[in-house]
Amino acid sequence: MENIEIQNQPIKRNLPRDVFLHLLAIVTLYWSSITFITLLWQFINYFLPDNLSFYVGQSYAIRAQFELIRFAVSSLFIVFPVFIATSWILNKIYKKEAVVRESKIRKWLLYFTLFVAALVVVGDLVSVINNLLGGETTLRFILKAFSVLLVAGFVFGYYLDDVRKSEPTKLAKPFAWGSGSLVLIAITFSFFVIGSPATARLTQLDNQKLSDLQTIQQQVVNYWQTKEKLPITLNELNDSISGFRVPVDPQSKTNYVYTIKDQVNLSFELCATFNKQSDNVNEQIVKPMYYSSDLYAQNWNHPAGYFCFERTIDKQLYPPINKLNVPIK
């Protein structure tokens, strides 16, 4: 504790309190700003996808975008209200203890924030000019650069006005309402992109079903290469040595349906019941390009409800293992 006299009256200041509140306000400001920019960037990525960044397993990129959106929304739900509440508490303290506004910790943190915001704005503008000179004129890039400039400029303008005054800036309420409205709009809009939590749950279940079917398909191919025939039932794929157990539907807890269509031509079906219809962009679950096998480059699109994927093993692409080991004469 230290005593500071203002108008001949000693005012007690809780220095740990001041440090805690100012640090909390700045950290939550940075966190909120970064996650808000992340959210805007993922909206841009979703609606203006870059074909150069997609490959055979494009759904993984979409799912990564959704994960980033969910993390950004979760952060803004918690962190941004903490920032607003902390700023409100500090402004209440400033009115009662004006000397708190002159504390060194506040000055250092504000000027550091201005420094960071200025660097971000300058770096963003340099990046825009550099990319324009390099021929990058896509709407996707321009919108991303503008989003960074908007947030950094918003923060810089507010704190530049605040640091130059000896009393709380009159922009505090407009800043809180304006930023709060933007965050609320962004969070609300995100649910139109990623869906509700219930929808996300159904999507995760469908993704797991597709992953299970891919695993079963690979095991069926391995069975053929080892024994030169298709398994009669999925139970034949269980292996006590490797520890493999045929997965079951995570939602219904029932076995997936496996049917042999043609034993000679190695045709079979794998069936499951899905919650939602898939499409080529958002929910097609395929393995990334570093898998060379065309087993993972097949179409896994499906409608809602019960659906079967028909597969035929190519004997030339997947010959029996014993034929692979025959020496060449």
Virtual torsion, Cα 156, 159, 160, 166, nearest 10 deg: 180
Residues 173 and 123: their CA atoms lie apart, in Å, by 29
Predicted model pTM: 0.65
Characterise 195 by phi-psi region: left (phi > 0), alpha (psi -120 to 50), beta (else): left
- DSSP string of 33-93, one letter each residue: HHHHHHHHHHHHHHHS--GGG--TTHHHHHHHHHHHHHHHHHHHHHHHHHHHHHHHHHHHH
User: For residue 19, what pLDDT is reported?
Assistant: 81
User: What sign does the CA torsion over 211, 213, 215, 217 have?
Assistant: negative
Alpha-carbon distance 172 to 121, whole Å?
A: 22
Q: Answer for the pair 73, 5: CB distance below 8 angstroms, yes or no.
A: no
Spatial distance between the Cα atoms of 268 and 259, rounded to a whole number of angstroms: 6
CB 218 within 8 A of CB 295: yes
Q: Following DSSP, what letter does each residue of 131-175 receive, concatenated?
A: HHHTT---HHHHHHHHHHHHHHHHHHHHHHHHHT-SS--TTHHHH
Alpha carbon distance 132, 128 (integer Å): 6
Q: What is the pLDDT of residue 279?
A: 60
- Yes or no: say if 256 and 212 are a contact pair by the CB < 8 Å rule: yes
Residues 6+ apart with CB under 8 A from 169: 158, 161, 162
Which pLDDT score, from 0 to 100, does residue 209 have?
94
**Cβ(190)–Cβ(71) under 8 Å?**
no
pLDDT (0 to 100) of residue 111: 85
Domain ranges of the chain: 2-195, 199-324
Q: Which run of H or E residues covers position 202?
A: helix 197-227
pLDDT in the model for residue 139 = 80
Low-confidence ranges of the chain (pLDDT < 50): 1-12, 54-57, 281-296, 329
> 52-84: per-residue pLDDT in tens?
554 444 556 677 788 889 899 999 999 999 999
